[in-house]
Chains A and B, each alone.
Chain A
């Protein structure tokens, strides 16, 4: 399928009309671009993932495929057609 898919954790789905994933047409070139594209339709999801400093929140993990973007360029991590961006809360907490 053409485009990039963003997979949402269960905690954020109510902010995206209950969707478990969102297909972004047009193939955004980076993870940051994909999240910005997601922001247009679901701004509440965006600001629960990205801070005012335009950084992914410290206890949220973003993967492209199986790769944590912390180790692959952060929000500049490149995407290709068909990429899957997976957003998950980290295992922190008590």
Chain B
């Protein structure tokens, strides 16, 4: 087995890149200029890490990861020293109740809650459910209304499993939250999680005879900007959409992209009009169109999209970027980062205008998260 990593040596202002792969997690750090990167890992060698997060609320610097494997299951583990030590070797804290008849198979999303509730965190898991902690991650419980949702018997897994991959709390209201999962689509609560309604009007389900069901869409990712939280952008399994009303209605914004199929989507940290995606050719051939690795960016809320290719391979690049493998940091000139299933990690320090290869030869990358250390 690889040596145990010593943990990342990084301080305030440094940029940290957290990369989950199918065989472990790798950590990167850079100075604020993001010109060179130090790396260490793998943490949890041999285990897949589909979800990572950094919680910097209430003076914390707590790294969360969800390692797991097909043999022994999955759990969440936390580190307060950037990976030098991890909690979580004890009995697992994330479990379905026995009477639910469900067994946890993967954790897809770790989401710190609102800044005003620094001890609240959420998990999106497979089979699809929302878990919540109100004690900073010491204990977890499924959100009862979601666990017992009347639609549950009709939710069906996509190729990746029946996974909840998106959790978007309203930063202004504790009553409202949007979640999304494959397949099922977008659901929203307006009453603090007491009830959840599907919000998929206008989002198509290409793989069904009825193309516009109330629910059952294969949504791949939804993002929004905290300064304009009601505006949602959605990368669908075929389809690129925007909603200006918290998902009550959706408008097609696939304007000028080579394909409206893809997985990954990320919001610019400062501009609520700017979103990044990585289109793929389609659901049968899930690779970058024309074998060119291009990130696409809109700076006008989806009215048009431009390819970003400087520094990225433009021939023989049969790449796939998965739903959580694209992220931004919140430096003034945003860093944009993504990882590929072929084990490459690319970074841009200029809003996506130009790119460089940070690391090659990793196991397949399934999630990338970036943060500036407070």
Contact = CB atoms under 8 A, between A and B. Distances in A.
A57 B73 contact: yes
A90 B71 contact: yes
A54 B72 contact: no
* Interface hub of B72, B91, B92, B101 (most chain A Cβ within 10 A): B72
A54 B92 CA distance: 15
Contacts of A70: none
Nearest to A39: B91
A52 B72 CA distance: 12
Interface range on chain A (Cβ under 8 Å from partner) = 20 to 34
Interface string A1-39: 000000000011011000000000000000000000000
B12 interface: no
B208 interface: no
Contacts of B70: 58-59, 92-93
B204 to A, nearest CB: 33
Contact of A51 (B89, B97, B103): B103
Contacts of A51: 73, 103-104
Interface of A: 11-12, 14-15, 43-44, 46-49, 51-55, 57-60, 89-90, 92-93
Nearest to A43: B91
Contact of B72 (A11, A53, A55, A92): A11
A83 to B, nearest CB: 23
B112 to A, nearest CB: 25
Contacts of A57: 71-73
A44 B89 contact: yes
* Interface hub of A46, A48, A53 (most chain B Cβ within 10 A): A48
A90 B96 CA distance: 24
Interface residues of B, number: 18
Given A43-B91, A47-B92, A52 B104 contact: yes
B100 to A, nearest CB: 7
* Interface hub of A52, A58, A60, A89 (most chain B Cβ within 10 A): A52
12 contacts: A12-B72, A14-B89, A44-B89, A46-B91, A47-B92, A48-B71, A52-B95, A52-B103, A53-B98, A57-B71, A57-B72, A59-B70
Given A11-B72, A12-B72, A57-B73, A44 B92 contact: yes
B315 interface: no
A47 B104 CA distance: 11
B73 A53 contact: no
B90 interface: yes
Nearest to A88: B71
A52 B102 contact: yes
Contacts of B73: 47-48, 51, 57
A12 B72 CA distance: 9
What 10 A-B pairs are tightest by C-beta distance, nearest first? A51-B103, A48-B72, A43-B91, A89-B71, A59-B70, A59-B71, A52-B96, A53-B103, A52-B103, A47-B92
Contacts of A90: 71
A53 B92 contact: no
Contact of A52 (B69, B89, B91, B98): B98
Given A12-B72, A49-B72, A44 B90 contact: yes
